[in-house]
A and B are shown apart, each in its own frame.
Chain A
Amino acid sequence: MIGINVYLALIAIATLLSMYRVFVGPTTADRLVAVDIMTTITTGLMVLFALYYKRMIFLDVALVYAILAFGGVIAFARYMEGGL
């Protein structure tokens, strides 16, 4: 219909806009929010790559990445709150 390159381009634009907030964001919480959104977008990108290269093993990589990113964000939030 449209082609997978259009979706990859939309994801690239979204990642670049999030990178702006990571570099410019005035507080630490702004940068962490942007990194959280970027990990979610990267999970979708890995699933799209699984379809692009026709390999189902990349779906397992995406699941493990989602679990590790969740743990990382929780750890950074606890550090910012002062409990770690």
Chain B
Amino acid sequence: MNALTATGEALVLIGTFFYFLSALGLIRMPDVYNRMQTSTKSATLGSLGVMLGVGIWALGTDFGNVAWLTKTITIAIFLLLTNPISAHTLIRAAYKSGIPLWEGSVVDRYREHLESRKAEVEEAEKTPEEGGEE
């Protein structure tokens, strides 16, 4: 048991604990938007912990070399880049397909944005007609 193995094992423990917390948020939260909010963040953090932890842990063993750390860092960076993209796409599709918010939600900025843009378009359509009548 050397320092590299201990550090990697602690990182893996933190990562798997955050996996457990993300699954718990998936159970506990009231609607799909809150579930996505809690689960994706902690699953991404848990992935970072597990990947870096396994890379550092393998450096301290007799079979490991630097290629382990390189490959795990590559997977970690890929997950860090693509997890927010997939979460954003999923939640945008859920909103567009008409799933309602939880009744305790008080802020809906996306609907305000859509309504303001629709009002701008209607106003822009109305103005040339009035100009044409005159």
Contact = CB atoms under 8 A, between A and B. Distances in A.
Contacts of B92: 77, 81
B119 interface: no
B33 to A, nearest CB: 9
Contacts, number: 148
Q: How large is the interface on B (under 10, 10 to 19, 20 to 34, 35 or more residues)?
A: 35 or more
B36 to A, nearest CB: 5
B63 interface: yes
Contacts of B13: 2, 6-7
Interface string A71-84: 00110111011100
Interface of A: 1-2, 6-7, 10-11, 13-18, 20-21, 27-30, 32-34, 36-37, 40-41, 43-44, 47-48, 50-51, 54, 56, 59-60, 62-63, 66-67, 70, 73-74, 76-78, 80-82
12 contacts: A14-B23, A34-B26, A36-B87, A37-B23, A37-B43, A47-B51, A59-B68, A63-B78, A66-B75, A73-B86, A76-B90, A80-B94
